[in-house]
Amino acid sequence: MTGTGDSDAGTTARRFALGRHGPVPPVLAGRYEVGERIGEGATACVHRAEDRETGAAVAVKLFHAGAVELGRNRRDQEIAALRAVRHPGLVGFVDAGVDEGYAYLVMDCVHGPNLSEWLRSGPLPADQVVELGAQLAEALAHVHAHEVTHRDLKPANILMSGEGPRIADFGVARIVDATRVTDTGAVVGTAAYLSPEQVLGEHPGPASDVYALGLVLLECLTGVREYPGTAAETAVVRLHRAPRVPSDAPEPLARTLRAMTMRNPEERPSAAAVARALRGTETLRLPLKTRLAVFGRHHRVSRRRAVLAAGLPVALVAAGTLLLTAPLRPGTESAPVPGPAPVSPPSSAAADSPDPAPWHPPVRSGRGPAHTTAPPPSTTTRTVTAPPGKANRPDRKPPKKPPGHPKKPRAPGNGPPRGRPPH
C-alpha cells in the first residue's frame, strides 16, 4: 500500500520513526516489524512492515495521538467484522489494535499509486471514469451487503494496482474518528468528501459512501475537487449548492453522478444500483487505454456489432458520393445506375438493425468500369450513341450539305446574306 506524503527510504526495520507524539516502536503488538515510512497524511502515517507470524509483507497505518475512541470489546467486534469482508476491489484487512498509545491498522501491501497521485497528470476520459466507477461501486456494494460502511472514501484511499482499483482503509472510521474538524476550520481527514448528513452531524450510512464516490468520480472527470477550501467553507457550500456536473459530460454518466450526489440520502441509489447503471452505459463501454491500462482487467465490448452497424450507413453514403462525383471519361458508355438504397440513421441502425442488408456496387456495362455523373439541377445531358466499333463523339459537327442542294430563302428585312459584303 502506498500513501501520500514524503517517503523515507533510509529508514530500516530497527530504526525508530518519529510520529506526531513520539517515536514509533520497531515492533507492534509483538508481531509486526515496522520498516520504512512510505506516506503520511493528516491523521496517520503508513509504514512497510513484515508480519513475523506469516513472513508476509504488509502495510501498517499508525494513527496519531488522540485518535482512539472505541473500547477494547467493541474494537474487537469491529475488527472481526472487517476481517470477514473480502473482495478483489478491497485492500485486504489483516489486523487492527492499539499498542504503546498507537492505534494501528494492518493491511495487505499493494504496490501502485493512489488515485489522488494518479489525477495529478490530469482528468480521466469519460469512458475510463465509467469503468473506474463501476468497479468501485461493485466493491462498495459488497461491503454494504455485510453491513459495513467505509465513511472515509476519497482518492487517497483508492489504490491503483495492476489488478484493478482497490479501496483501502475500510473500518478506519470505526476505530478512529477520521473526519472530525478542528476549531480553526482546518480539514482533518476527509471533510472535503463528507456527505451533507455528515456535515450536519447525522449518522453516516451506505448512502454516505455513495455520495463520496460521486464526488470522487466527478473529480476524476473534471480534474479538480468539487468543494475545495477549509472545512467550514466546504460545509456551507455543499449544503447550499449541489455538485456541478459538466454540461458536456455524456448524459448516462451525468445522470448517474447527479443521482449519487443528491442532498437527501434517501434519494440516492444504492452502490449496487450505481454499478448496474454504469455497466448499462453501453455507448461509453470502450476499451480502457492510455493511463488506465494498468488496471489489467479486460472487458469485452458488448455492443461491438451494433457500433459497426451504426458506422456502415455513413460509409455507404461516402462511397456513393465518391461514385457520383467521378467525371465521365470519353470512350466509356453511360450505364443505368440503380437508385440508392434507403439508408437509416446511424442511431436506429445500431438499435434495430445490427446486420443491415449488403450494399451492391453500380451495375457495370461493357468492358470499361461504370461511371456516373451528377449534373447540376439546371442542366441536362444527352447521350449520343456511336456506330458499332466507334466511340461516341457528342461534339462532332454534322456533315456538310451535298452540292446543288437548294438554299433556304432568306426572309426580307433581315440584313445581308451571310458570307457577302453589304452593297
CATH number where 202 lies: 1.10.510.10
> Which stretches within 110-245 are classed as H helix?
115-118, 126-145, 172-175, 196-199, 206-222, 231-240
On whether both 322 and 298 belong to a single domain, the answer is no
In a shared domain, residues 249 and 127: yes
- Tell me whether residue 406 is in a domain: no
The CB-based long-range contact list for 358-361 (8 Å cut-off, 24+ gap) reads 359/316, 359/319
Q: What is the mean pLDDT of residues 175-203?
A: 63
Domain shared by 290 and 146, yes or no: yes
Confidence (pLDDT) at 70 = 52
List C-alpha distances in Å: 261 to 157, 211, 240, 241, 258: 19, 5, 13, 11, 5
Q: Do 221 and 167 reside in the same domain of the chain?
A: yes
pLDDT for 396 equals 53
For residues 140 and 77, membership in a common domain is answered with: no
The Cα 178–Cα 189 span in angstroms is: 5
- Same domain for 99 and 119? no
Q: Does any domain span residue 334?
A: no
What are the CA-CA distances from residue 56 to residues 69, 107, 113, 158 (Å)? 29, 11, 20, 22
Placement of cell 465518391 in the chain: 322
Same domain, 152 and 279: yes
Residues 12 and 127 in one domain: no
Instruction: List the single range of 31-35, 142-146, 208-212, 326-330 with lowest mean pLDDT.
Output: 326-330
One domain for residues 75 and 129: no
101 and 202: one domain?
Answer: no
User: Residue 219's pLDDT is what?
Assistant: 98
Q: Higher-confidence residue: 307 or 240?
A: 240
HEC assignment per residue over 368-402: CCCCCCCCCCCCCCCCCCCCCCCCCCCCCCCCCCC
Residue 379 domain-assigned? Answer: no
My answer on whether 122 and 188 are in the same domain is yes
Which of 292, 319, 354 is the last residue in one of the domains? 354
Question: Under DSSP, is residue 234 helix (H, G, I), strand (E, B) or coil?
Answer: helix
Most confident of 3-7, 115-119, 307-311: 115-119
End-to-end CA distance of the chain: 114
Higher per-residue confidence, 12 vs 263: 263
Query: What is residue 143's predicted lDDT score, i.e. its pLDDT?
Result: 93
Highest mean pLDDT among 7-11, 235-239, 338-342, 362-366: 235-239
Q: Which has the higher per-residue pLDDT, 90 or 5?
A: 90
Q: Is residue 237 part of a domain?
A: yes
Number of neighbouring beta carbons within 10 Å of residue 275: 21
Model confidence pLDDT, tens digit, residues 232-264: 888 889 999 999 999 999 988 999 999 999 999
| Amino acid 398: pLDDT | 56
Domain count, the chain: 3
Choose the final residue of a domain: 111, 146, 172: 111
Question: What DSSP assignment string belongs to 139-161?
Answer: HHHHHHHTT---S---GGGEEEE
Which of 71, 90, 111 is where one domain is finished?
Answer: 111
Note the pTM of the prediction, 2 decimals.
0.59
Q: What is the pLDDT of residue 236?
A: 84
C-alpha dist (Å) from residue 409 to 402, 412, 414, 420, 422: 17, 9, 11, 15, 18
What cell does 254 get?
A: 451525468
Q: Is residue 423 part of a domain?
A: no
Q: What number of other Cβ atoms are within 10 A of residue 362's Cβ?
A: 16
Spacing of C-alpha 18 from chain mean position = 41
pLDDT at 233: 85
- Is 232 among the domain residues? yes
Q: What is the pLDDT of residue 404?
A: 54
Q: Which residues are catalytic?
A: 152
Residues 355-376: what's their mean pLDDT?
Answer: 40
pLDDT computed for residue 279 by the predictor: 92
> Which domain, by its residues, includes 195?
112-302
Is residue 61 part of an annotated ligand binding site? yes
Which is more confident, 416 or 5? 416
Note the pLDDT of residue 304.
39
pLDDT-based confidence at residue 320 (cuts at 50, 70, 90): very low
Q: In this predicted structure, what is the pLDDT of residue 397?
A: 57
Task: Report whether pLDDT(63) > 50.
Answer: yes
Residue 161: pLDDT over 70: yes
Same domain for 42 and 189:
no
pLDDT in tens, 103-151: 888 999 998 999 999 999 999 999 999 999 999 999 999 999 988 889 8
Please give the single-letter amino acid code of residue 30: G
Rounded Cα gap, residues 92 and 90, in angstroms: 6
Does residue 341 form part of some domain? Answer: no
Higher pLDDT, 360 or 244: 244
Q: Given pLDDT bands bounded at 50, 70 and 90, which one contains residue 25?
A: confident
Is there a domain that residue 422 lies in?
A: no
Q: What is the CATH number of the domain that holds 41?
A: 3.30.200.20
Question: What is the percent of the chain where pLDDT is above 70?
Answer: 53
The larger pLDDT score, comparing residue 317 to residue 27, is at 27
Residue located via cell numbers 448528513: 197
* Residue 77 pLDDT: 66
For the chain, give the mean pLDDT.
69
